[in-house]
């Protein structure tokens, strides 16, 4: 089963409702529809289109010609009795859900005229525009998930632990100025909406100095440990996106870099034919990924849903200067069971120097999106498995003994991963998902595979299974 067919299955459950309740073509007794006042009643009618697409225009005209106020209208793949007759139809049947204020004196003639065009039935309390629900839940089986990139606005502020919240053992806990800066960055992220430009940050000299120390040390390590793709993209980021040791890159500039070369796919747009379709946008892109500011820890489900739209969440604040090579970010042990994201030292160094270079690689970007797509509408148990695997794929690195150019997926704490203390294991996804993801310390082990292609092949098999 492919990712697309699995999504189709989830969406079938998502929209399953009236099909098993009734297959009748005749309308129920009109008295079953309650009048709100003496003259007007609200009616919700599902109308099946079985002849041709022009019926849609004619049906809407039936309402407008009577000056009936249509409150809501949406279309979907047909699920009435015509579903059994699709092989005999010239086009795939559709259904219209129309919710309208109907004058009582018009209701009988309205339904009679609708009958001449198609089958129909009245429904009580139909689900409408589920993505707009304040507490979105599709049904008991399938969790709500975003269907358009703008829907990420609904989940991106569902932060489990804010970056401005520091534990007593954090090096910046008693630094009032540092805490003030963290609050400023959190406020920027919480106010951000899809389509806006990411605000430009004027970083302090202290922040620039901290960045410089980390940048110089990591770029030194990358020369001997990072894979070819990582090194190539890091060079491009240095040339095109402002990566240097003297100042921090701006998220908007980096995001624009990821969209700077050739046309590619992008947003999940809508649910039609019970599968997720993709819209191809006419903008230039390297991999189609973009960055979105975030205020702190997200749940694994929310983080992965961003990957489905090629959106990567990134903080704008930097770790405290007192301990630049590792920072104990706020972490509540109670969050462990829901496998939070991101892991380890969550700050702009972690994301910009650990993740972004590989997001500029088309194959890695596509693979990351596939992981995101696999997460949509799936169970909490499956989310935890996907998240566990995702905690390990970071900047791919050569093995410390240089047997050949291979990839070792790990959190980008290269000094530990390349030391004699590190345990290197073969990359087997079904074993990786049983590993404990350590957030506040080094991992117990790292995973090595012969090639990135081999890793993606294994992961796609996991998605299928």
Residue numbers in the known binding site for Fe cation are 350, 355
DSSP 8-state secondary structure symbol assigned to residue 197: P
Sort 48 into a burial class: Cβ within 10 Å, 0-12 / 13-18 / 19+.
buried
What is the Cα–Cα distance from 35 to 292, expressed in whole angstroms?
47
Q: Are 93 and 48 in contact (CB under 8 A)?
A: yes
How many Cα atoms sit within 13 Å of 79 on the Cβ side? 19
Letter string b/e over residues 168-182, b meaning 16 or more CB atoms within 10 A of that residue's CB:
eebbbeebeebbebb
Task: Please list the residues that pair with 38 across neighbouring strands.
Answer: none
Annotated binding site: 350, 355
Q: Which two tokens stand for residue 287?
A: 């991999």
E strand spans, 248-379: 262-272, 275-285, 290-293, 296-297, 311-314
| Tokens 């009435």 -> residue | 80
Stated as kind and residue range, the H or E segment containing 372 is helix 362-375
What is the Cα–Cα distance from 438 to 344, expressed in whole angstroms?
8
Stated as kind and residue range, the H or E segment containing 113 is helix 104-117
DSSP 8-state secondary structure symbol assigned to residue 249: P
What is the Cα–Cα distance from 214 to 320, expressed in whole angstroms?
12
Q: Are 457 and 368 in contact (CB under 8 A)?
A: no
Q: Collect all residues with Cβ–Cβ distance below 8 Å to 403 and sequence separation of at least 6.
A: none
What is the Cα–Cα distance from 63 to 81, expressed in whole angstroms?
24
Q: Collect all residues with Cβ–Cβ distance below 8 Å to 228 and sequence separation of at least 6.
A: 405
Measured CA distances, 16 to 9, 76, 300, 449 (Å): 11, 12, 26, 42
Taking each helix axis as running N to C, give the angle between helix 228-240 and helix 251-258, from 0 to 180 degrees, rounded to the nearest 10.
120
What is the Cα–Cα distance from 186 to 137, expressed in whole angstroms?
27
């Amino acid at each position: 089963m492919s990712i697309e067919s699995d999504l189709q299955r989830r969406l079938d459950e998502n929209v399953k409702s009236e099909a098993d309740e009734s297959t009748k073509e005749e309308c129920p007794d009109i008295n079953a529809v309650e009048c709100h006042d003496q003259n007007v009643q609200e009616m919700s009618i599902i109308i099946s289109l079985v002849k041709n697409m022009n019926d849609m225009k004619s049906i809407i005209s039936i309402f407008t010609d009577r000056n009936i106020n249509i409150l809501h209208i949406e279309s979907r793949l047909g699920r009435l009795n015509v579903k059994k007759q699709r092989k005999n139809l010239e086009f795939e049947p559709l259904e219209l859900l129309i919710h309208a204020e109907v004058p009582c004196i018009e209701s009988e003639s309205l339904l009679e005229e609708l009958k001449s065009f198609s089958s129909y039935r009245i429904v009580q309390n139909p689900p409408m525009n589920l993505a707009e629900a304040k507490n979105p839940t599709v049904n008991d089986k399938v969790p709500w998930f975003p269907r358009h990139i703008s829907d990420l606005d609904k989940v991106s502020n569902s932060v489990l632990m804010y970056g401005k919240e520091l534990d007593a053992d954090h090096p910046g806990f008693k630094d009032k100025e540092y805490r003030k800066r963290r609050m400023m960055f959190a406020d920027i992220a919480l106010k951000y909406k899809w389509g806006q430009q990411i605000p430009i940050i004027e970083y302090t000299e202290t922040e620039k100095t901290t960045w410089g120390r980390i940048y110089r040390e990591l770029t030194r390590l990358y020369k001997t440990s990072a894979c070819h793709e990582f090194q190539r993209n890091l060079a491009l980021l240095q040339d095109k996106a402002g990566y240097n040791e003297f100042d921090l890159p701006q998220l908007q500039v980096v995001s624009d870099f990821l969209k700077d070369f050739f046309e590619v796919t992008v947003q999940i747009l809508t649910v039609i034919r019970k599968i997720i379709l993709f819209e191809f946008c006419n903008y230039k892109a390297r991999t189609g990924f973009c960055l979105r500011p975030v205020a702190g820890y997200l749940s694994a489900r929310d983080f992965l849903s961003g990957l489905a739209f090629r959106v990567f969440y990134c903080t704008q604040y930097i770790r405290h200067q007192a301990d630049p090579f590792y920072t104990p970010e706020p972490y509540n042990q109670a969050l462990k069971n829901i496998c939070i994201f991101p892991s380890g030292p969550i700050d702009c160094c972690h994301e910009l120097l650990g993740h972004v270079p590989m997001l500029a690689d088309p194959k890695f970007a596509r693979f990351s999106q596939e992981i995101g797509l696999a997460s949509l509408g799936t169970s909490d148990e499956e989310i935890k498995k996907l998240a566990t695997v995702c905690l390990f794929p970071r900047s791919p690195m050569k093995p410390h003994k240089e047997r050949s150019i291979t990839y070792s997926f790990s959190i980008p704490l290269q000094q530990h991963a390349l030391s004699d203390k590190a345990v290197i294991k073969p990359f087997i996804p079904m074993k990786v998902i049983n590993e404990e993801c350590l957030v506040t310390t080094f991992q117990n082990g790292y995973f090595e595979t012969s090639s990135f292609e081999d890793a993606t092949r294994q992961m796609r098999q996991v998605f299928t299974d």
